[in-house]
Amino acid sequence: MKTILVPMHGDDGDAVALETAHSVAQHFKSHIEALLIRHDPQILAGDGLVIPSDYLVEMGNRWQNMAERVRKVYEETVARLGIQKAEIDAGGAALGCPTASWRELSGQEAEVVGHQSRVFDLTIVARPDDPARDLWRVTAEAVLFDGGRPVLVTPQAPRTELGRKVLVAWNGSTETAQCVAMAMPWLTTADEVLVLAVKGGMVPGPSAEELARHLARNGVAAGARTLDEGDRSVAEVIIAEAHAMGADLIVKGAYTQSRFRQMIFGGVTNDLLHRSPLPVLFAH
């Protein structure tokens, strides 16, 4: 987790995402890149559409003002947290402390962030309290499906520590196996790891106990537990068990069922994306 990407949106999630990134960077001596995507109206309109020049000027001024506000949040948050500014080639690992840099690109956010995330160990997206806003979800899914990299979705309550007590929400799937592999930097340094399987959420594959044995061979002393969901949803069981163990991080493979099916009918990924009170590390 040496390189962390933080997409900035111009909302109250920006500072939260940076604070969460700082928590991760303290642990791994990481470099944080804050990225703002400018929505160029000429790019968004596509070819063949003539846009009035006065509208382009107005949009340009509006985006410039927004960029200045977001940059101010970045500067103030970095200063408040005491993060050292540095270029990526002299990042946290080289300096022995968390570092940060600022970058601006033009285009459609999901596409650009999805592509850029491929060269980062982790992307952090803050989930807003307002359920009507969905840019955060589109961005997170772009990282999962277009970037092929893990994304950490955090609620609006940043934590000072992440990865000390980790719950692995195991369902036997390829997606969760991939997520566990990407989470190994956390798992190998955690104080406590619990592999939790909920019977109603399992697919054909290894058991929680088998994953715990694999982790033990990699130096992770993980416990294992398999539970019935009873009258609760699988996500509710996961959240309850995470709360009971005092977890500060949940590790979960994303979209074992199709993304479309989960958007229509619901699913564990969908539930955790929108309702988890803890940060969740997703990978697909």
Stated pTM of the model: 0.91
Task: Tell me what the mean pLDDT of segment 114-139 comes to.
Answer: 90
Distance in angstroms (rounded) separating the CA atoms of residues 272 and 110: 21
Distance in angstroms (rounded) separating the CA atoms of residues 240 and 243: 5
Residue 185 pLDDT more than 90? yes
Residue 55 pLDDT more than 70? no
Q: What is the radius of gyration, based on Cα positions, of the chain?
A: 20
Q: CA 215 → CA 8, 95, 143, 152, distances in Å?
A: 35, 31, 26, 21
* Backbone CA torsion sign across 167, 171, 175, 178: positive
User: Which pLDDT tens digit goes with each residue over 193-243?
Assistant: 999 999 999 999 999 999 999 999 999 999 999 999 999 999 999 999 999
